[in-house]
Chains A and B, each alone.
Chain A
Amino acid sequence: MEQFEIKRIIPLELFGWDISFTNASLFMVLAVVLIPLFYLFAMNRRALVPGRLQSIAELSYEFIANMIKDLVGEKGMKYFPWVFTIFMFVLALNLLGMLPYSFTVTSHIIVTFALAAMVWIGVTAIGFANHGPKFLKLFVPSGVPFWLLPVIVIIEVISYLIRPISHSVRLFANMMAGHAMFKVFAGFVVGMGLLGGWAPLVFLVGFTGFEIVVAFLQAFIFTVLTCIYLNDAVNMHEH
C-alpha cells in the first residue's frame, strides 16, 4: 500500500516529539492555502449578481448555513465557522486525494479520528456549557419504565462513547477502500495486458467519477453527523 505511506520531507522534532513535515502535512497545508485562496478569488468582485465562481462560494456558504439551521436551529449558527471549516477541510483533503500521485490525508485513521474526537469533545463541552449537569439527562430517556433504566442508561452511554469511533471510521474506511480499489484495478489493467486490460480500465474511469462523488458525500456525511451531535448538545432533544 505504497500510496498510504507517510514520507518525511523535512524531519523535525519538538520537545522530543516527532513533528516532521511529511507528505500528509504537505497536503494539509495545501488545503489550508487553497481553500481561502479559492474564496478570495471567487468573492473578489463582490458582485451583486454573482458569476459562476462566486455562485459556488455563496452556495457552499448557504449549504452549510442551511444544514445547521435545519438540524440544530438558529442557536446553532454560533458554531457555523467551526462546522464550515470541518466541511471544507475534509472536502478539500478528499478531493486533493483524487489527484494522481497525490496523498489522501483522510485515508489515515489517526487524522479522521482526531477530527471526530475534536467534534466529540467540542460537542460535549458545548453541552455542559449550555445545560450544566442537566446535560447528563441525555443518557436518561423520558418515558422508560424505571426497571429498564439501568440497561438503557448503559446503552446510551456506550452509544455516546462510541460516536467518535463510528464517526471517524466511516470517513477513513470509505477513503481508504476507494483508493485501495484504484490500486487493485490499476494492477489488473497492467496485469491483463493490452488485450484484457481494457475492461478494468473502463471500470476505473467510471469508478473515478464514483470516487469523486464519494469524496463529496463523505465530507457531507461527516458534517451532517457533526450537526446531529451538535443538536444534542444545543437542544437536548427529548427522546
Chain B
Amino acid sequence: MIAAVSALVVAAAAAAHGEGSSGLPQLNPANFAPQLFWLAVSFVILYLILSRSTLPRIGEVLEERRDRVQRDLDAAERFKGETDSALAAYEKALADARQKASSMAKDVRDRLAADTEAERNRVESELAAEISEAEARIAATKSKALASVDDIAAETATAVVGKLLGEDVSPAEVKNALQ
C-alpha cells in the first residue's frame, strides 16, 4: 500500500514537473502493443522450455536421489535383519553347545557314580562274606575251646589236688567233685 501511494506520488511529481513528453511512459498506450506481443512470445517460449526440458530434468534428479536414499535405507534394514538372525543363530548354537556339554558332564558323572557304587557294593559284600566266615571260625574255635575247658580244669585240679594231698587222685573223682 505504501509502495502504491509512493508510486502515485512519484507519478504525480513527474507529471507536475512535466518530465518526459507525455507523463509516465507506462501510461502511453502506444507502448502497449509491442510490450504485450513480446510478453506473450517470451512467456510462451519460457513456459515451453521449462515445462518440456528444465523441470523434468530437475524432477528426475530429485526422484533419483529419493530412490537412492530409499534403496540404501532398505539395504541397511536388510543387513540389520541378517545381522540379527546371525546373532540369534550364534546364540542358539552357543546355548546348544552349553546344554550338550552339561549333559555330557552329567552322563560321565552318573556313570562314574554308578561304577563307584557297584565297586563299593562288591567290596562290601566281599567284606561281609569274609566277616561272616571269620565270625563262624571264631565261634567254632570258641566252642571248641569251651569244650576243652572242663578237661583242662579237671587236669589242673587233679594236679593241684595231687600236690596238695600228696596222693594221686583219679581224674574221675576230681571231675565229679568239680560238677
A-side residues, CB < 8 A to B, are 1-2, 4-6, 8, 12, 14, 17-22, 24-25, 28-29, 31-32, 35-36, 39-40, 43, 46, 48, 54, 57-58, 61-62, 80-82, 84-85, 88-89, 105, 107-111, 114-115, 118, 169-170, 172-174, 176-178, 180-181, 184
Contacts and interface: CB of A to CB of B under 8 A. Distances in A.
Contacts of B58: 39, 43, 57-58, 61
Contact of B6 (A4, A85, A172, A177): A177
A22 to B, nearest CB: 5
A32 B46 contact: yes
B4 A19 contact: no
B153 interface: no
Contact of B42 (A18, A28, A181): A28
A85 B46 contact: yes
A85 B37 CA distance: 18
Interface stretch (B27-35, B84-92, B111-119, B154-162): B27-35
A25 B34 contact: yes
Contacts of B82: none
Q: Considering the complex of A and B, which 10 residue pairs feature the smallest CB-CB distances, nearest first?
A: A81-B51, A25-B38, A173-B7, A28-B42, A180-B10, A173-B4, A177-B7, A19-B37, A6-B31, A174-B3
B2 to A, nearest CB: 8
Interface string B1-39: 001101110100010000110001111101111111111
B45 interface: yes
Contacts of A173: 3-4, 6-8
Interface of B is mostly: helix
Given A4-B24, A85-B46, A110-B26, A48 B38 contact: no
B14 to A, nearest CB: 5
B101 interface: no
Given A108-B26, A169-B4, A81 B42 contact: no
Contacts of B3: 170, 173-174, 177-178
B35 A22 contact: yes
B104 interface: no
Contacts of A24: 34-35, 38
A207 to B, nearest CB: 13
A223 to B, nearest CB: 14
A108 B24 CA distance: 10
Given A1-B14, A89-B43, A109-B26, A114 B36 contact: yes
